[in-house]
Each structure stands twice: as structure tokens, then as C-alpha cells.
Amino acid sequence: PSPAPGRLTVYFLDVGQGDAALIVSPTGKTVLIDGGPPEASSRLGARLRELVKGPLDLVILTHPHLDHLGGLRAAVKAVGAKRFMDPGFDHPSEAYRDLLNFVGTEVGQVMSPEPNASSPQTLLTVGLGEGVALTVLWPRVPQETFLADTRSDANANSIVTKLTYGKTAFLFTGDSEPPTEEMLLKKPVDLTATVLKVAHHGGKHSSTAAFLERVKPQAAVISCGAGNDYGHPSPEVLGRLGKVRARTFRTDQDGEVMAVSDGTSVTLRSAKGGAGATSITGTQPVGGPVALGPIEPTPHGRAGRSVEKEPEPGVSRSRTPAESTATGERYVSLKNSKVFHRESCSTLKRSKNERTVYTSRADALRERRPAEDCHP
């Protein structure tokens, strides 16, 4: 399963109606992007044990929907993980909350794709060795606010990444929506890619004609389940991919798709494609920036802070003089959450998770963002 040194391999894993892709760099660095639905858990864990030696270097959850996060617990249990990244988009899903609680205890570092505060024009880039780089194009909170009032805000704020190696590039789009694509098209960002992971399983609301014209994919991979209830991929998207002459692979028909890059060309093979292979020459400018301006690695971890347990019903929490502010208001963040609430927020009353208490809004803002339910 492991290619020879000098080869970058991307496995578009067959997880049914969901997404999961494994990146293996020439130096053996590994990144898992999404984990498919819960029903794919055992299959995903078994496949990762075949492909990965040692813990994953990074796990990325593009957005908190079940068909992308459902198998991540099994993936981490199967091989381990050093870092976990997600957009930091607040979502009420119980499955998402449970996953955050799990990775908070099982993964060494939990992070979000924030740009360097001292260089906000830069993008977060993760180096994977031998010139392979994974750059986060979106989101860029807090420098840019999350997209709001879209058809699906969780989808629209999916993590979008570009993987580059020599003249070849891969674009991973999660379930990004037209507003995401419109926003990216307005930026001075090189979106061209040799291989495109098609957004939202080929759903008609993504992969607009303007976006595909800018990306210019020579190959496109659609991750979807056979006979799914959503009609994915849609005829509209298949037609738009045909117009840009992208060679299209589908996990529902082709099974797992493996793409191997030597930095000059990408060779794609499918599990059900027999001995046939598709070879594509990359056109990415070697050494060219993904975006205008410098791109710097920006390690970010959630800052540590002592937490306190939720008191038992009927037991009051003692207060020190320092906790009393002019307004008497304190701010609270639940364990592994990226937002903070007013202490009086009903969300806190419903949760029994551990929590971090801040005595001032300024302290809370240094580590979290305001929640949308109580607007602290």
C-alpha cells in the first residue's frame, strides 16, 4: 500500500454516502480528511490499519455533519492521531459534541485553521515533507467571519484545502456551497488543481460552472454511495464536469480511487477498474504561491486553561473577589468548544460537560469566539 519514496499518494476511500480521503506524503506523513458515516466505521478502521503505520499526523473534519464525522472515532481508535482540526463552526449536533469530547482526550492537539494573527494576510500551511504542502483556503476566522444565511451554513463553512506537490495539485472542498465558491473566486488565490474532490458528493448545489472554470480539474473524484437517497451525483454536476473535460471517478461505481503523484504527473487507479490507469500531467507552477503574499506555517493549539466541573444540582459554586466584575457577568466555555457563552445562557444549563470560566469578556475572546445563541 505504501508507495516508493518520492511519491505522494491520495486514497479516496470508499465509505458509502460520505467522504473520507487519506493523504500519504513521500516522507510518510499522513492526513485523514473526514471519516465517512457511522456505518463505514469498521471498514474505515480496517483500511487505515492496512495503509497507516503509526498515528495519523493530522485528522481534518471539514464540517460537523454525520456523513463526514461518523467514522472518525473508529479511525482514531484504529491507528491513533497526533492532531485534530475542524473549522470551529458552532453546531448543535450531539454526534459532533461527542466527537469533540473524544478527540479532546485521545488526540494530542486540537486546532482550528486560524491565520497567524501577526500576518493575517497569510494562509495556514501544513508542510508534509519533500515540498508537499497542504494549505487551508477557507475558513479564516477570526480574520474573516463565517458565511451566514446560506442554504446550509455548516456546509458553506467547510474547510477547503489545496494539496500541492511539484506541478501537481489536489483541491479538497468538503461540502462547500455556491457562497463558498463565490467567496473563493473573489480572492487572489490560485484554485487550479490536477485533481478535484467534488463538493457535496456531486450535489447540484455545488461545483458551479464558474468555479470549475477556475479550478480547471483534469480529474474529479466524487465520493458517494450506490443507490443513495439524494440522487448524488446530480446530472447537472456531471454535465458541468464534462464541459471542463474532467475525467470523473465515482466511489459508488469505481470503489476506492488511488491517485499517485511524482510531482510531475498524477496516475489514478480505481479498485474496480482492473489494470487500467489514467495518467495526467500537472500544470501547477513549481514553487508558485497558492495565494498572493507570503504563506507561512502557523501552528495553533487551543490554549490550556484550568476547568471546573459542573456542580451537582443544588450545590452553589463559591466565588472569589476576582470573579466579581462591574457587571457581575462571567463567561463560560464548555469543554472542547470553540465558543463562549454568558453564564446565564440556557445552553450551559442543558450541558453537564466540564467548563472553563472567564472573569472577563476580554479573557474569553483571547481563546474563544462569542456564541451565536446568547451573543455574549
Q: How many CB atoms lie within 10 A of CB 51?
A: 17
Same domain, 270 and 366: no
**Global pTM value:** 0.77
Band of pLDDT at residue 299, cut at 50, 70 and 90: very low
Same domain, 270 and 339: no
The pLDDT value given to residue 2: 52
Please tell me whether residue 284 adopts helix, strand or coil conformation. coil
Domain boundary at 261, 281, 301, which? 281
CATH number of the domain within which 171 lies: 3.60.15.10
Q: How far apart are CA 219 and CA 259, in angstroms?
A: 10
The answer to whether residue 269 sits within a structural domain is yes
The answer to whether residue 296 sits within a structural domain is no
Domain boundary at 281, 305, 320, which? 281
Cα dihedral 207, 282, 24, 58 sign? negative
The answer to whether residue 31 sits within a structural domain is yes
Across residues 75-91, what is the average pLDDT?
Answer: 95
The answer to whether residue 326 sits within a structural domain is no
Identify the bridge partners of residue 108 per DSSP, sorted by sequence position: none
Same domain, 20 and 103: yes
Q: Which of 326, 351, 335, 339 is nearest to 376 (CA)?
A: 339
Q: Range of 107's domain?
A: 8-281
The answer to whether residue 48 sits within a structural domain is yes
Same domain, 274 and 349: no
pLDDT at residue 316 is higher than 70? no
Same domain, 212 and 342: no
Same domain, 271 and 345: no
Same domain, 233 and 338: no
Question: What are the angstrom distances between the C-alpha of 278 and each of 86, 194, 248, 269, 326?
Answer: 32, 12, 11, 7, 67
Same domain, 25 and 161: yes
Band of pLDDT at residue 311, cut at 50, 70 and 90: very low
The pLDDT value given to residue 277: 83
Same domain, 112 and 236: yes
The answer to whether residue 312 sits within a structural domain is no
The answer to whether residue 291 sits within a structural domain is no
Same domain, 208 and 341: no
pLDDT at residue 26 is higher than 80? yes
The pLDDT value given to residue 317: 26
Same domain, 353 and 274: no
Q: How many domains would you assign to the chain?
A: 2
The pLDDT value given to residue 323: 30
Domain boundary at 239, 260, 281, which? 281
The answer to whether residue 37 sits within a structural domain is yes
Across residues 368-372, what is the average pLDDT?
Answer: 73
pLDDT cut 70: percent of the chain above it:
83
Separation of CA 39 from chain center: 20
The pLDDT value given to residue 14: 96
Same domain, 219 and 86: yes
The pLDDT value given to residue 160: 97
Let me know: does 367 contact 355? Beta carbons within 8 Å: no
Across residues 98-114, what is the average pLDDT?
Answer: 91
Band of pLDDT at residue 322, cut at 50, 70 and 90: very low
